[in-house]
Chain A
């Protein structure tokens, strides 16, 4: 077993301007697992991901990447180890899927270099895994929402990093496409042993796909554990302010969280 955590936030505080969003947050990731980060709007979920990839520097505390202080890494070194899919990524009109995915090799080539056989292989396998080989020459902006999201996942895969951070990967997708993207992520985690962190709004998805659910509120972790342990009626009321029913699906054994109302009536 590899006991070095791929990523750990140790007592990390971070924020924008004078507003601190993360308040001494402590979170370590286990290799090869899917962690869902959930919490109300403005709780600091996305900031956790941004701090993990040093897109936002920690004001205090340390971010450890493979056990080493992330500040000792160059930007491209980080990009080789951690790939991030932001909330609303955008590509220029006319850029094809293949051209987008090839950008995933940027951290591996010199500023001016070519990406060689290894890079070409990484791009092909990313296209195959995301089932985009037939769409490779199509402009990204002409794809459907689900296909477009898969193209961005493919870019992250071509990057060859072992940790994948996704910020609300299912937003703006219809329910079928939501499942497609999440299934893809789950299969990558299983087949490639990737460590995945997803910020999710949908607690049903979080319970369904994550090995571990981390609930963030006010820049702190308020609950952390397996979905069945974390998602409780009490937590739904105190953190999200809703009344919910929690039950276990007899067939699959999965925890199902069903928010009912604001609980005020």
Chain B
């Protein structure tokens, strides 16, 4: 039996887990910094001056991004499950990830004669991601109506087309092939403060807006006739929630690439724990998203590989997207086996 008290307890637990993982994440790296020294460095009272540089300059941006991206993807998935009325809905079903990646390969394939193409890439991904979401939304509306099933089918088709176009460009361009892999899988390796500033506006607007959307989201979970009888304009509500989910996903993709599974696992886990009420599912999905992404990035950071990519020769951490897919998939299967009998 789910009670309000156990929900509060679980939310608190998830928040504590996220905080603990955050501190641990800041401590872990080439040099291990114990949690007490991490906290002191964060509070600007470091026991050792180098702690300040390592924690605040080198590791904090990546940990903050992990927190933000996990939260954004968890919320995006939870909103899409409502809009699409389907528990398999996830941020990848918005056209956002494939749109962002297609824009990235196009950009990488052409040299364009630009001085610092690397720094421009996140903006290109962001533009492509938003465009991808818009294409899915426009293509799926018919006579001003958005039908959940039509939305899913349109997204699958748009994703397939963009995916094929991406493959064609990649096969014709070495630069694109090398540069795009980490975006395809999703990674937080080497992220800096500039990346945080890029994601922050989307998070600052999207996260509170998504949490406030719980009431209309709940009404949308009913059948159409009941929803309208309660006075909710269904089509504007669907467009707004889809747009919000797409913006959250686009903000995440623009800094981390297409990280899979968080947006699917977090809302499903939240539903298993808290039931169907969006007032509980949304905040819990956000917290679980943070926990999952930070935990997976901890693992990703500690396992390094030397990728056989033409353009790079250094050992790098595993992309967090790969870790999530490998460890996340079995977890998700267990969760779904237990919740859908």
Using a CB–CB cutoff of 8 Å, the interface residues on chain A facing chain B are 53, 55, 74-80, 83-84, 86-96, 99, 103-104, 106-107, 109, 111-113, 137, 139, 159
Contacts and interface: CB of A to CB of B under 8 A. Distances in A.
A172 to B, nearest CB: 15
Contacts of B219: 103, 106
Given A106-B215, A106-B219, A112-B212, A99 B275 contact: yes
A84 B229 contact: yes
Interface stretch (B50-58, B61-69, B230-238, B255-263): B230-238
B223 A90 contact: yes
B25 interface: no
A94 B276 contact: yes
Interface of B: 1-3, 85, 212, 215-216, 218-219, 221-223, 225-226, 228-233, 271, 275-277
Contacts of A137: 1-3
A22 to B, nearest CB: 17
Given A55-B228, A95-B277, A104-B230, A88 B215 contact: no
Given A89-B225, A90-B222, A94-B271, A106 B276 contact: no
Q: Is the interface of B mostly helix, strand, loop or mixed?
A: loop
Q: Is the interface of A mostly helix, strand, loop or mixed?
A: loop
Given A95-B275, A99-B275, A109-B215, A78 B223 contact: no
A94 B221 CA distance: 11
Given A96-B2, A137-B1, A139-B275, A107 B231 contact: yes
Given A92-B221, A106-B219, 19 more contacts: A55-B228, A55-B229, A74-B231, A75-B228, A76-B231, A79-B230, A79-B231, A89-B222, A89-B225, A89-B226, A90-B222, A91-B222, A91-B276, A92-B85, A95-B221, A95-B276, A106-B231, A109-B215, A111-B212
Q: List the 8 shortest-distance A-B pairs measured between CB atoms, nearest first.
A: A79-B231, A76-B231, A84-B229, A86-B225, A95-B276, A94-B276, A75-B231, A92-B276
Contacts of B228: 55, 75
A90 B224 CA distance: 9
A171 B191 CA distance: 59
Contacts of B275: 94-96, 99, 139
Contact of A96 (B212, B222, B223, B277): B277
B51 to A, nearest CB: 42
B336 to A, nearest CB: 13
A77 B226 CA distance: 15
A106 B230 contact: yes
22 contacts: A55-B228, A75-B233, A79-B230, A80-B231, A83-B229, A84-B229, A86-B225, A86-B229, A89-B225, A90-B222, A91-B221, A92-B221, A93-B276, A95-B275, A95-B276, A96-B275, A96-B277, A103-B219, A104-B230, A111-B216, A137-B2, A139-B275
A55 B229 CA distance: 7
A86 B222 CA distance: 11
A103 B222 contact: yes
B226 A75 contact: no
Contacts of B85: 92
Contact of A53 (B216, B229, B277): B229
A95 B225 CA distance: 18
A109 B230 CA distance: 11
Contacts of A86: 223, 225-226, 229
Nearest to A138: B1
Contacts of A99: 218, 275-277
Given A96-B2, A137-B2, A103 B218 contact: yes
A53 B227 CA distance: 12
